Structure 1
């Protein structure tokens, strides 16, 4: 029987508010892709060349990398996950007006500056969102709830592409508003996040980290059904945090000093970097110019983009019932193989068929290529789209979670900064043969998952340390919670077994 308790419903509600941060990313990735088809946009910004187009995308990713690596985690840890999400949404909201209304007298520089600020806002909000969801969701449905994180990326793309398609049907009436309307609509979800986020509780792990155990209990009571569940989780969190506080050094040093955490960080870096070189990152940013090699009419291209955004939502919903049933590893492996096949087929269809006058393909050929691109999204969305975020958000211990997730997530931007800068040049030089490159990359990613990625479905966050060859922070932390002189036993606590720690003299009853 499906659990529909008020606590579970509330858990879904606050998780979806946090997941709305991903709409910022999805809308933004789509909006620049969409406006590239507008002649009014190109004329307003001085008809930018492929290098300038790549620079605009690079500015967004670089802004996200800097803030994501060095600013998001300290804010998230010091002020809370909610504050990081609110600040990120506020920066995106502010930068939207710069993109829409900046004067064009100095070329595309002002638009580029607005895009850089968008990246900074995303760099603040995106790492905090999955950490927030992961720290409040119960283990048995954590994957299902986190799958909506990626689905909201598709919601953002859906909105941007359909607004843009509507504008392409009314270009003569709208003038420069045919692209401004698409840009300015980006304020909707940042405004929603800014309003709703502080009506959601902070995570119990953050409260306990700050020494506020009662606030942690109040937070957990809103999302757990029994007092026994609340107390058991509070105790487990306290034990893990006490161990991390007394034995591990700081928040960044363990990322490299602790072999178990270092292993996780390297794997997460590769996974997140790989997410954007599957081909999806380039299609998010450049599907308009990709489809210009197949179709003549911009309105048709934007309709395809809009339909892709629509089907992206449906495809991502597959993660909600597969990720906790079949596991993250299964989805990642099957998704990579499926994407590789789609890329090989699409390139082969394009190269093996004649091109009509004007540079387009026959209707049947063009439809086949579009079908294969949609099939690519079918494989990508629940796997490398959703499962990468789920896996990254759940594998790190509390003491480094905000830092590690922020740094790992920004590897997506590092990847995008490289690929999106050079993809327009590659596409201009070799055309659809670029899809063979992505096919090869996806085969390599499938092999990487098969040999190196462990399964994490259904595991409590505090159990991830043992999965990756480390000690159980919760078990070892029990000694620091239950015994006298935690500072003294911390001197060699990292080297003691759980049995040895349990034999340290206990606190005397008061």
Structure 2
């Protein structure tokens, strides 16, 4: 096996660790002993908070790891991240620190040891391993859950323990791989860079590649070292690449597919399937996901990143729109007299379609972009910005998803829409929220002085008579619902 293949295999195993983490939580979130241990219910906000803390750790880990990798080397950075991820079995946020660091450093390490025209293919192959990790975690979860039961603590502890396989494998082979020549040149160690080039690309390419790297480094030195302010501040030399990087990750998160990875079984339950059936349909979806990644690494260097993302965005919008419609019909099938399978099966197909499109077009490009559009002196920093945005965006998605499962319903009738706007007009405020069974509440606001013009009759009934202006002080709170119900056009008894 040549060194470039070894690098791909190593990077694939590291990225598989990230996939395993996502798949690991999918069924752990439905384990009754786990929920009892955490002191929460299945769809409560705390479930989303526990997962989202992991993504916050990823965001912080990306920044710390990229700075360490810039100073000490890509390989030492990976070592530190592996140690942190291994210790992370103790605390979710610590695991996030390690995995976030791996997500930031490994794509940079891999891209700097690949040919320019094969970089996309290599990263796509590595992310196919990411889906392998997700499948491994989910299959293990299904196996222990159905053999031990959802009340058994080992049904959720075993998958967490097995995660140690990945750091162990990576520690075992990491010393076989070289440091990247680009980092060596960046730190003035040209002899080490030459040895790395010889090991990875062959001795015949040493002179040409070392010349190319030293000239590029000299040019970057003349332009000055790039700081985070150059990347994040409008008008900075690298602000435009940063905007492209940020929006790539934001849009990937807003596809919602991160929630599918973590809460897949719950989504199929919302389509009307029982728990066991939903778990096996989710497993089929993950296997399909892995297969579709083959199409991704075949196309990404042939079709290009931009075209895949544009066409993928269109089909993802269509897929999730269909899923939303079919999910609503399944949720209301009894009231609408529709057979459940008539909506549930097309709903499964819509989500499988979204899976295929996401895997082919949107999983890899946002991770590849920062490794290709920044100069070498800012590449690790760009990758860290990418992971920070990915971590924060997925933190929001995974935190809000179970809240949405618990609190949102499909559809809003025309009459309810009319009452919403009528209530807003009558209270002279748009800060009005719909709650269960069509009732409304006034959200908290600061205490304000307001002048109100009212019509009163001689007995103070407020319906006819002369106008009187009165000044009053109001404190709007959630507890004011009973008091405000008559103004909102609904009786408090409703």
TM-score interval for Structure 1 and Structure 2 normalised by the shorter chain? 0.7 to 0.9
Q: TM-score, normalised by structure 2?
A: 0.78
Judging changes above 3 Å, is the alpha-carbon distance between structure 1 residues 32 and 93 closer, same or farther for their aligned structure 2 residues? same
Whether contact under 8 Å (2:22, 2:134) holds in the other structure is: yes
State whether residues 57 and 420 of structure 1, in contact with CA within 8 Å, keep that contact through their aligned partners in structure 2.
Answer: yes
Counterparts in 2 of 1:372 and 1:256: CA distance versus 1, 3 Å: closer
CA positional deviation for 1:92: 1.6
User: Aligned-residue CA RMSD in angstroms?
Assistant: 2.3
1:199 offset after TM fit, Å? 1.4
Q: CA deviation at 1:230?
A: 2.6
Q: Which runs of 4+ in 1 moved over 6 A?
A: none
- Tell me the CA shift for residue 395 of structure 1: 1.4
Larger Rg: 2
Query: In 1, distance between residues paired with 2:339 and 2:139?
Result: 24
Query: How much does 1:363 deviate?
Result: 3.4
User: Residues 259-288 of structure 1, C-alpha deviation per residue, up to 9 Å, x if partnerless?
Assistant: 552100111011112111111012122222
Aligned pair partner of 1:56 in 37, 50, 58: 50
Give the match's secondary structure for 1:137: coil
Flag the 1:149–1:393 CA change in 2: closer, same or farther, 3 A: farther
* Displacement after TM superposition at 1:226 (Å): 5.6
Q: After the TM superposition, which residues 253-402 of structure 1 pair with which residues of structure 2 at under 5 Å, given as runs?
A: 253-256=229-232, 259-353=236-330, 354-355=332-333, 362-402=340-380
Determine if the alignment matches structure 1 residue 22 to structure 2 residue 29: no
Q: Using structure 1 for the length normalisation, give the TM-score.
A: 0.75
**Deviation for aligned residue 1:433:** 7.1
CA distance in 1, matches of 2:137, 2:102: 20
Higher strand share: 2
Deviation at 1:211, TM superposition (A): 1.5
CA contact (8 A) 2:33 2:151 kept: no
1:331 to partner: Cα distance:
0.7
Residue 248 of structure 1: which of 224, 230, 245 is its match? 224
TM-fit CA distance, 1:296 = 4.7
Correspondence for 2:81 among 74, 81, 88: 88
Quote the residue 1:239 is aligned against.
Answer: 215
Paired with 2:301 and 2:295, the residues of 1 have a C-alpha distance of: 11
2:88 match: secondary structure: helix
How far apart in 2 are the matches of 1:120 and 1:361?
A: 47
Q: Residues 306 and 414 of structure 1: is their aligned pair in 2 closer, same or farther, counting only changes over 3 Å?
A: same
Partner of 2:438: none
1:67-100 deviation digits (Å, cap 9, x = unpaired)? 212x11121111111122222122222222x2xx
> Retained in 2: the 8 A contact 1:204–1:216?
yes
Structure 1: stretches of 5+ with no match in the other structure:
1-5, 99-113, 435-510
Structure 1: distance between partners of 2:238 and 2:4? 28
Give 2:4's aligned residue: 11
Pairs aligned (count): 407
Q: Which is worse superposed, 386-395 or 158-167?
A: 386-395
Bigger RCO of structures 1 and 2 (CA < 8 A, at least 6 apart): 1
Shift of 1:371: 1.7
* Alignment equivalent of 2:62, drawn from 58, 61, 68: 68
| CA distance in 1: counterparts of 2:290 and 2:370, whole angstroms | 21
Q: Which has the higher helix share?
A: 1
